[in-house]
Amino acid sequence: MSSTRHFTQKHIAASLTLAFLSLLHQNATVMSFEVPFPPSPAEIRASTVLSKNSLLATSAATLPPNLPLPVTQSVQLNSGTKAEVIYCLPPKQALPTNFLSSFFGGNEQKSTQSNKPVLAFLHGSFHASWCWSEYYMPFFAGLGYPCVALSLQGTGGTPAIPEGVKKVKIASHVADLDSFLRGLSTPSKYDLGLNLGDNPQIVLIGHSFGGLTIMKWLEQYYSESTDRMDINLAGVGLLCSVPPSGNGPMTLRYLFRSLSDSWKITVGFAMKKAIVDKALCRELFFGGDSPESGISDEDLERYQAYFDRDTAATIDLGDLAGKLPSKLVDRETGNALFLRNLQQLPLKPYVLGASDDFIVDKEGVSETGRYMGLDEQDIDIVDSPHDVMLGKKWRNGANAILQWIQGI
């Protein structure tokens, strides 16, 4: 009887595995490898540029006084993409001239250059630059750090190219990220006009799939033979990042640990049920329904509306599979081949994981740490769900990042 039961369980697991992998192949996504087509610019501004009263009401006493406001703007990248960016400047910095002129018609104003590095944020899938504007950008800008976030091609207010395309190649994201960073590095013919000062230091921070995009950018532009002095990069941080091997090995680990959990990830991402199922969305992104770690029903509905907008197209996983960062590593150490150049930056590479992350497991975080040349004890694990920048525990990740960037 026991042998028969064991035989049956093995065949059930094998069948579920095949069905699971088939579903992933058909949907070409597992772990939020989704990118959207944008609504109108007016809808973007209405949904992402919050009023000061609204921000203060949602964050209570957790944000600094004299809260700086995030601003949404469309910029032309040298890569050819017309991209949405959201930026938030410290209180003493003037807003970009074109922004002020459009509202006041006044004379040109010069910005006050911050003596702190610019924090450049890159979102994961199911998200766009809006996810940084809720808490992180006002928090860090209030402490003197200019903040700016890019919406990747096909997300938020950044249209996918060509129009109507259903898949976006990783090379397109890398090209846009490079143009974005060069546009922040003034004086430059690619200047985005955000008045961040002359050649400011830039700390690049990516979350989830944004972390893998950063790895590919580093692989291309921080190799041994490449000079990137035109970007004053000060450091790179990866938060709950998709590991260099992608989401495939990680998903299989979940499958053999818990059929229930692997099914939640499958239906949540590949079948996009996280957009309509509130309980599932809470569990995947926000730590479940516990009062101390979750989010309000109002915020959840708003975020699901963003997720719906931001999942209309998918990244080309067939293309990505042959270009994963793990294909170019030191086979003995798991380190990235560009690590020597990266370690010359003012800040040591930074990797952060979340203790309650339903999506990226401990092994995935450790793999990312090795890739970035970190020992296990050098990886930060904070008390947070996957979306470290949102929800009631956002300060845990923010404080950990603050401690890291203060090393400059």
Residue 19 lies in domain: 2-405
pTM over 0.75: yes
Please state, in angstroms and rounded to a whole number, the distance separating the CA atoms of residues 250 and 190.
38
Q: What is the pLDDT of residues 303-318, one digit of tens each?
A: 999 998 888 777 887 8
pLDDT tens per residue across span 96-126: 545 444 434 444 444 445 689 999 999 998 9
Residue 320, pLDDT > 80, answer yes
Please tell me the total count of domains within the chain.
1
Q: Look at residue 379 and give its three-state secondary structure.
A: coil
pLDDT band at 63 (very low <50, low <70, confident <90, very high): low
From 238, 234, 242, select the one nearest 32 (Cα to Cα): 242
Tokens of 160: 């996918």
CA–centroid distance for 272 within its chain? 18
Q: Is it the case that residue 177 has pLDDT exceeding 50? A: yes
135: exposed, middle or buried (C-beta count within 10 Å: 0-12, 13-18, 19+)? Answer: buried
Confidence class of residue 408 from pLDDT cuts 50, 70 and 90?
A: confident
Task: State yes or no: pLDDT of 226 exceeds 70.
Answer: no
Q: Specify the CATH number for the domain of residue 138.
A: 3.40.50.1820
DSSP letter, residue 277? -
